[in-house]
């Protein structure tokens, strides 16, 4: 019998392991459900950390750390995620490799401490910028690890804030995961404020034109790297009549539903954006553009945050009818998706 390399781990434990393996130097954080265990788990490793007075301080401490060339991250959700948008905005404006793991919980306000997919807009377009931040949405425990590793690498390589957008269910879920076979190289950090020369670095500009120019430069970089990062998972590539779109853990449920529907002769297909920003637009257009597709159903634990992005990203010349399964703050199970076809 092959030696079982799997370990029983919760999502939070996997995040801590990924940050360790990514050689993160420090975590700044504040206790908030469902990400408390990431903070206490990281602290238990003995690596540098600080529980700050609030999430705003945590966010700016991360900015400070990366400016000095230290890989840093934070973790939060719900109202904490709202506060972190302040620091993330600075990271967006100054192109800082800010890494955050967001555990979505019910919103708005204190909502629930449990689960939702209601922080998609916040992650993708929060702050007062143009949404130039990398957003990854893992569907499984293993992917949670891989995307957290990737977040650090992409942040430091491309200098955009990177958000691993997960949720309270995946963080608290325990399962057997084999991380031993993954060989991921780390992109190294470098001081953005160098030690051998002087930099002068604003994030406020005197005239509109200066800001516009800066944004243009960032957008240019963004366009260049988007095709390298945007990724989707697609199932059933032929004769799809009903295309189901979902992300994160709901994607896992939809994937299983599609498999079962196919067994029963229903021509369902599955498209899961693995990155929400940049969105895998090319794949989306291709899949929605198939002749056989009669309709698209966007499935999410929110009142349409993913749907909005999908409609926005879809090429206008592709005419397809949309339907929605929206359950803000509630989990969506395999059976519920299957029942759409009854």
Partner 1 sequence: MSENLAKFCPGCGYPITLLMLNKTLEKLGLQKQAVLGLDIGCALLAWNFLPINTFQTHHGRVVPTMMGFKRARKSSLCVALVGDGGAYAIGLQSLIHAAKRDEPIMVIVTNNTVYGMTGGQTAPTTLNMQITPTSPEGNIEEPFFGPELLKGIVKEGAFLARTAVNEPKQLMEYLEKAIQTQQAGHFSLVEVLSFCPTNWKTVGIGTIEKLNGLKETFKLGEL
Partner 2 sequence: MILKILLAGDGGQGIQSISDLLAQASFANGLNITQIPNYGLEQRGGVSLSFLIISNSEIAYPRFSEPNVLLVMSEQARTRTKNYETKEIMKLDINDFVDKFKDLKIEKFSYNIFFLGLITKFLVEKNILKTEQVFGLLEKKLSKKVNWTENERTWKLAIEN
CA–CA gap between residue 39 and residue 75 (Å, rounded)? 7
If the CB atoms of residues 55 and 236 are measured against partner 1, the closer one turns out to be 55
Selection from 54, 57, 46 nearest residue 16 by Cα: 46
Residue partners of 276: CB distance under 8 A and separation at least 6: 120, 123, 124, 135, 136, 137, 165, 247, 306, 309
Q: Closest approach of Cβ 8 to partner 2, in Å?
A: 5
Among 5, 6, 20, 44, which residue sits at the site for partner 1 (rule: CB under 8 A)?
44
Token digits of residue 79: 């109202």
- Cα–Cα distance measured from residue 248 to residue 122, given in angstroms and rounded to the nearest whole number: 16
| Residues across the chain | 342
Of the candidate residues 79, 304, 328, 331, the single one contacting partner 1 (CB under 8 A) = 79
Output the six-digit token pair for 337: 């998706």
Q: Which residues pair with 72 in a beta bridge?
A: 26
**CB 17, min distance to partner 1, A:** 18
> Residue 175 or residue 326: which is nearer to partner 2 going by CB?
175
Find, among 169, 39, 75, the residue nearest to 114 by Cα.
Answer: 169
Under rule CB under 8 A, residue 43 binds partner 1: yes
Nearer to partner 2, 206 or 264 (CB): 264
Residue number, 79 or 328, with CB nearest to partner 1: 79
Distance in Å, CB of 252 to partner 2, minimum: 5
Residue 336: strand, helix, or coil: helix
**Binders of partner 1 in range 3-42 (CB under 8 A):** 30-33, 36, 39-40
Whose structure tokens read 């703050």?
329
- Work out whether 48 is an interface residue with partner 1 (CB under 8 A): no
- Output the smallest distance, CB 212 to partner 2, in A: 46
The H or E element spanning position 104 is strand 99-104
* Closer Cβ to partner 2, 141 or 148, answer by number: 141
In the list partner 1, partner 2, none, the entry touching 255 (Cβ below 5 to 8 angstroms by class) is partner 2
Nearer to partner 1, 39 or 338 (CB): 39
Q: Which residues bind partner 1 (CB under 8 A)?
A: 30-33, 36, 39-40, 43-44, 51, 53-55, 79, 109-110
């Amino acid at each position: 019998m092959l030696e079982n390399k799997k370990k029983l781990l919760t999502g939070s434990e996997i995040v801590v392991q990924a940050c360790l393996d990514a050689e993160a130097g420090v975590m700044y954080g504040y206790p908030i459900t469902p990400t408390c265990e990431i903070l206490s788990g990281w602290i238990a490793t003995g690596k540098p950390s600080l529980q700050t007075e609030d999430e705003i301080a945590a966010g700016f401490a991360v900015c400070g750390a990366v400016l000095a060339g230290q890989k840093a991250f934070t973790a939060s959700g719900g109202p904490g995620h709202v506060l972190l948008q302040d620091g993330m905005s600075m990271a967006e404006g100054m192109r800082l490799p800010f890494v955050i793991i967001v555990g979505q919980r019910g919103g708005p306000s204190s909502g629930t401490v449990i689960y939702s997919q209601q922080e998609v807009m916040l992650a993708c377009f929060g702050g007062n910028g143009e949404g130039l931040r990398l957003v990854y949405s893992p569907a499984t425990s293993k992917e949670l690890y891989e995307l957290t590793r990737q977040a650090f690498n992409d942040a430091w390589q491309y200098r955009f804030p990177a958000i691993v957008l997960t949720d309270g269910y995946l963080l608290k879920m325990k399962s057997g995961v084999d991380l031993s076979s993954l060989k991921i190289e780390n992109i190294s950090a470098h001081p953005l404020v160098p030690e051998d020369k002087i930099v002068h670095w604003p994030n406020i500009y005197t005239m509109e034109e200066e800001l516009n120019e800066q944004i243009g430069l960032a957008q240019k970089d963004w366009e260049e790297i988007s095709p390298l990062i945007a990724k989707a998972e697609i199932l059933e590539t032929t004769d799809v009549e009903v295309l189901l779109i979902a992300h994160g853990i709901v994607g896992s449920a939809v994937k299983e539903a599609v498999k079962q529907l196919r067994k029963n002769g229903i021509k369902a297909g599955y498209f899961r954006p693995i990155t929400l920003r940049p969105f895998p637009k090319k794949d989306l257009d291709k899949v929605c553009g198939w002749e056989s597709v009669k309709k698209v159903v966007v499935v999410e634990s929110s009142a349409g945050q993913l749907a909005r992005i999908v409609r926005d990203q879809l090429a206008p010349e592709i005419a397809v009818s949309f339907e929605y399964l929206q359950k803000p703050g509630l989990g969506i199970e395999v059976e519920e998706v299957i029942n759409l076809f009854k």
